[in-house]
Amino acid sequence: MTGFALFWIGLMCQFTPFCGILGMIFPGLEFFQGFCFLFVVVGTFTLALSAFFLVVGLCWSCTRGYAALVFIVLGLLGDLVMFAGFWFIVGWWILSAAVLYIYFSWAPDNYSSPYLQDLGNFYKPSHDVNDWMDAAKRGGESFQAETVDLVKNIPGGKEAVEAGDKMFSSLSSSKEETKETASGAI
C-alpha cells in the first residue's frame, strides 16, 4: 500500500505542472481555471490504482490464478477508462470496489468454489519480546537445517557434515565432563 501511495504522489507531482501549460495553450477553456488539479488528482489516482492492480495480478498469476485474473481485468479496465472521462472513472472506482468486495469478502463466506480465492492470512505483529525471540530462533534453526542440507548435496559434503557433528558432540560431552568435574571439586 505504501508503494501505491508513493507512486500516486509521484504521478501527481509529474502531471500537476501540465495544468499551467494547458491553461496557457487554451486560455478560453473554463476547464483549466481551477478544475485541472482535481482532474489531475483523479486521473493519477486511477492510473496508480490500475497499475497497482496489474502488478498485484501479475505477481499472483503463478499462485492464485483466478484472483490474479480479477486484478488484471480491473487494471486493464482502469487503464481504458482513463480516456473515457470523469464519470467513467468514478464508475470504475465503484465497480472495482464492488468486485473486490464481492470476490474477496462476500462470495468466499457464502459459496464454496475453487474459483474463489481469498487474500490469504494477514498476520498481526506481536509486541511480546518472547515471540520475537522464538521467531528468530526458529528462523535460525531453519536456516541451519537448509544450509546443512545444501552442504550434504555437495560431493563429499555428507562426510564433512558427519565429521562436524561427531566433533561437535565430542566437544559438548567434554564440556559437560568439565562442568561435572568442577562441580564435584567444590
Query: pLDDT at position 122, please?
Result: 58
Higher-confidence residue of 158 and 172: namely 158
pLDDT class for 28, splitting at 50, 70, 90? low
pTM to 2 decimals?
Answer: 0.56
Distance, in Å, from the CA atom of 40 to the CA atom of 48, rounded to the nearest integer, reads 12
Check pLDDT > 80 for residue 114.
no
104, with CB counted inside 10 A (0-12, 13-18, 19+), is middle
Query: pLDDT at position 73, please?
Result: 94
Cβ contact 40:19 at 8 Å: yes
Query: How much is the average pLDDT of 97-105?
Result: 87
The pLDDT tens digits for 74-86 are 999 998 888 787 7
Cβ contact 20:29 at 8 Å: no
Distance, in Å, from the CA atom of 7 to the CA atom of 49, rounded to the nearest integer, reads 9
Query: pLDDT at position 30, please?
Result: 54
pLDDT class for 46, splitting at 50, 70, 90? confident
Is the alpha carbon torsion for 112, 118, 120, 126 positive or negative? negative
The rounded percent of the chain whose pLDDT value lies above 90 is: 11
Query: How much is the average pLDDT of 90-98?
Result: 92
Mean pLDDT over each residue of the chain, to the nearest integer: 79
Grid cell at residue 34: 481551477
pLDDT class for 72, splitting at 50, 70, 90? very high
Distance, in Å, from the CA atom of 130 to the CA atom of 73, rounded to the nearest integer, reads 44
Higher-confidence residue of 41 and 1: namely 41
Check pLDDT > 60 for residue 174.
yes
Check pLDDT > 80 for residue 182.
no
